[in-house]
Amino acid sequence: MKTVYKLLPFAVAMSIGSAHAANYAIEARGDAMGGVGVVSANFLTAPFYNPALTAIYRRSDDVGMITPSIGFNYTETGNFVDDLEFAQDVVKKGDAANAQKAIDQLNGDSLNLDIGGVVAFAIPNRYVAANVFGKLYTESHATAELGSGSTPIEQAENSRVRAVSIGVAEAGISLAKYQTFLGQHLSFGVTPKLQRIYTYVYEADIKNYDLKDLRDNSRGETMFNMDAGFLWFYGPIRAGISAKNLISRDIQTQNIPGTNVSYAYEMAPQYTVGAGIVADYFTLSVDYDLKEEERYLGFDDNTQMLRVGTELDLMRQLKLRAGWKKNLAYDDSDSTVTAGIGLSPLNLFQLDVGASYTNENSMGAYINFLTSY
């Protein structure tokens, strides 16, 4: 928890780093269930998992809103924040006695921080169901680069902090159609969307670093993109596939000040398959990313997720959720457990809260406010 408080200035700096405030997309129900959603999301949260689900709703649903969903997640490898503070103190004091300790602690340290939120307004109907949404998020990655020198104190003085971040603001509309074909229940959906993408890059020596300065060296560009999805179901049994960001693009950052060094962020399609049981009062679902996403080229921030989640609905008033997920891009990555609840007092509105825990240096929290009529 101490790390969370230390990261707050960094999170605030990133959230106001542009006039459009980019944040990481969070959806508390799905995140409480391990991040699943390809077959288990609902018509309100469909744009963030599988647009085909926009057309799957109850007959009593005429309109719905997410107002809003927000959250954050951070992961430290080692004790990045504390180790940087210790190394900075060693360098400023010229403390040769503790220089080797500072270098050893920093070796392999890194930090990932994601923050953001979403809003949505859905109009289900039997012709072409629609969901208009907005999504804002940042993904930030920082690491320590050890310097060279003939003594430990010289190595510490020559060490540097390197950080990159991407902020994405999205607005779009998910359109979906349900139909039967040869007795099979099918749904198809597409999501045309506009993306405003900001990249940030920062590097400084140990003595002078300040992660809040990450937002000072940025570049922004606007692009069109598209998602698509498919769902098959028979009774409570469901299977589906979702394709996100079908238009691939490499986004180049600004050069690090005083150098010719820059980085590329890979905005590439991701295909996720899902299967599960979605019944009136019970849900069990599994999602799997078919390919590894590299994201920032040259940084260890790759992802390929396997997710499992479940939900128990008690009389439409209380929902209990749990999940598990693991990043398969790295053999030594820790798995994450998730949990949360959904409250629907008299079905007037719904409040979802969720949390994730990987270890004492990696956790997150999420909250949704939803209404449907």
Q: How many C-beta atoms surround the C-beta of residue 295 within 10 A? A: 20
Q: State the alpha helices, DSSP H only, in the chain.
A: 2-15, 28-32, 80-93, 99-106, 152-158
pLDDT block averages, 10 residues each, the chain of length 373: 49 40 64 95 95 91 88 84 89 92 89 89 93 91 87 91 88 96 93 93 83 75 95 96 93 82 86 96 97 82 92 93 94 92 86 93 90 78
Instruction: Judge whether 140 and 112 are in contact, CB under 8 Å.
Output: yes
Q: Is 199 helix (H, G, I), strand (E, B) or coil?
A: strand
Distance CA 167, CA 169 (A): 7
Instruction: Judge whether 327 and 358 are in contact, CB under 8 Å.
Output: no
Q: Residue 31, exposed/middle/buried by CB under 10 A (0-12, 13-18, 19+)?
A: buried
- Give the per-residue pLDDT at 19: 33
- Give the per-residue pLDDT at 18: 34
Q: Is 77 helix (H, G, I), strand (E, B) or coil?
A: strand
- Give the per-residue pLDDT at 210: 74
Distance CA 9, CA 212 (A): 7
> What residues contact 53, with CB distance under 8 A and at least 6 apart?
39, 41, 42, 43, 45, 46, 176, 187, 189, 229, 231, 240
- Give the per-residue pLDDT at 211: 65
- Give the per-residue pLDDT at 347: 75
Please spell the DSSP secondary structure of 94-160, one letter per residue. Answer: T-GGGHHHHHHHHTT-EEEEEEEEEEEEEE--SS-EEEEEEEEEEEEEEEEE----SSHHHHHHH-E
Range of the domain at 333: 2-372
Report the CATH number at residue 290. Answer: 2.40.160.60
> What residues contact 2, with CB distance under 8 A and at least 6 apart?
none
Any idea what DSSP says for residue 209? Answer: -
Report, in angstroms and rounded to the nearest whole number, the Rg of the chain calculated over CA atoms.
22
The two beta strands, 249-252 and 184-205, are: unpaired
> What residues contact 43, with CB distance under 8 A and at least 6 apart?
53, 54, 55, 56, 57, 61, 64, 122, 124, 129, 131
Q: Give the predicted TM-score (pTM) of the model.
A: 0.86
Please state at what angle helix 80-93 crosses helix 99-106, rounded to 10 degrees: 150
- Give the per-residue pLDDT at 12: 46
* Number of domains composing the chain: 1
